[in-house]
Amino acid sequence: MITIKINNKNYEAGEGETVLPVLIREGIDIPHLCYHDALSPYGSCRLCMVEVTAGGKKGITASCTLPVSEGLEIETETPEVVQIRKVLLEMYLAEAPGSKKIQELAKKFGVVHSRFADFDIEAKGDRCVLCGLCVRACNELLGIGAINYAGRGTNSSINTPWYESSSACIGCGACAYVCPADAIDIIDRGDERIMETWNRTTLKLKECVESKQYFATEKAVEYVYGKDSDLPEDLKDLSADSRRRKKAADFVLKPRRK
Ligand code: SF4
Ligand code: FES
């Protein structure tokens, strides 16, 4: 175990950890957009900035990529750190004015206007903050890479190759699950799932043989079975609810020795 000081109080951290997970675990409130505990830290949103003192030197850096080390001292609320957060939030308000998450953070930090754009804070608009969590989920968790950064500068976006519907996307929804800005639209209609944000990539949904409910895309089910050949074939056509029911029924009906 490693001991670090946060806001003048000692905390234990694990070998190899970075500072942000410690702050989150200890309930120390710090804004962050591009961090998810299932994915590698990327350090792109810069909202998790803290003041750090190490080896007698002070600096300001992103806590999600800062490794813990014995005696590290962290301050999360210095005037400089708070000021950086506010300027960043002004930029995010200009970048993604439609994001509820950004609107909430801006409100929390008293940011009511942005010097970087003219907009109505309540207006619907862009929601993506370019944090890249969706890209990393698709790459790191699934190994698929159906989406990536595209364009430059103010035209940057996350997109499919050539801005066309993707043949690689399996419609699992992991991207939408990790997105902090609720910026990815997925529509289930009839027997189809439309990945609206990914240029309307359209996939067939699989129907549960018992409940007759659509529960996942055919491609996502094939992907899961392709990864794990030990999965029982008889569960392949069942939704999660039906699988649970079947398990419970099997347990109740199983003959037991007296
Ligand atoms: S779509 Fe969501 S997860 Fe992907 S970069 Fe934009 S805000 Fe981040
Ligand atoms: S959470 Fe650390 S830079 Fe985004």
In tens, the pLDDT along 141-166 reads 999 999 999 998 878 999 999 999 99
Q: How many CA atoms lie within 13 A of 212 on its CB side?
A: 0
Can you tell me the mean pLDDT for 210-214? 92
**How far, rounded to the nearest angstrom, does the alpha carbon of residue 63 sit from its chain's CA centroid?**
17
Instruction: Kindly give the distance from the C-alpha atom of residue 228 to the centroid of ligand 1, in angstroms, as a whole number.
Output: 29
Which pTM value belongs to this model?
0.88
> What is the per-residue pLDDT for 54?
84
Q: What is the pLDDT of residues 78-106, one digit of tens each?
A: 999 999 999 999 999 988 988 999 999 99
Question: Does the Cβ of 105 fall within 6 Å of ligand 1?
Answer: no
Shared domain check, 139 and 64:
no
> Based on the domain organization, do 69 and 174 belong to the same domain?
no
Provide the CATH number for the domain around residue 26: 3.10.20.740
Q: Does the Cβ of 181 fall within 6 Å of ligand 1? A: yes
Report the nearest-CA residue for atom 7 of ligand 1. Answer: 128
**Whether residue 244 sits in one domain with residue 138:** yes
pLDDT at 72 over 70: yes
Domain count, the chain: 2
For residue 127, being part of any structural domain is answered with: no
What was the pLDDT predicted at 206? 96
- Percentage of the chain lying above the pLDDT 70 cut: 93
Q: What is the mean pLDDT of residues 121-149?
A: 89
pLDDT range class, residue 123, cuts 50, 70, 90? low
Residue 120 lies inside a defined structural domain of this protein:
no
Structural domain that includes position 34: 2-77
- pLDDT of 65 reads 97
Q: Which of 28-42, 49-63, 201-215, 236-250 shows the lowest per-residue confidence on average (mean pLDDT)?
A: 236-250
Determine the pLDDT at residue 235: 79
Does the beta carbon of 184 sit less than 6 angstroms from any atom of ligand 1?
yes
Q: How confident is the model at residue 13 (pLDDT cuts 50, 70, 90)?
A: very high
Question: Does one domain contain both 69 and 171?
Answer: no
Judge whether 90 lies within some domain: no
Decide: 53 and 104 in contact? Cβ < 8 Å: no
d(CA 101, CA 105): 6
> Residue 96: inside a domain, yes or no?
no
pLDDT at 253: 61
24 belongs to a structural domain: yes
Domain assignment present for residue 98? The answer is no
Instruction: Give the three-class secondary structure for 85.
Output: helix
Residue 152 lies in a domain: yes
pLDDT of residue 161: 96
Q: Which residue carries 């190899």 as its tokens?
A: 16
Rounded CA separation 115/171 (Å): 38
From the list 234, 151, 175, 166, the residue with the least C-alpha distance to 203 is 166
- Answer yes or no: is the C-beta of 32 below 6 A from any ligand 2 atom: yes
> CB neighbours of 95 closer than 8 A, spacing ≥ 6?
126, 129, 130
Indicate whether 104 belongs to any domain. no
Q: Are residues 154 and 63 in the same domain?
A: no
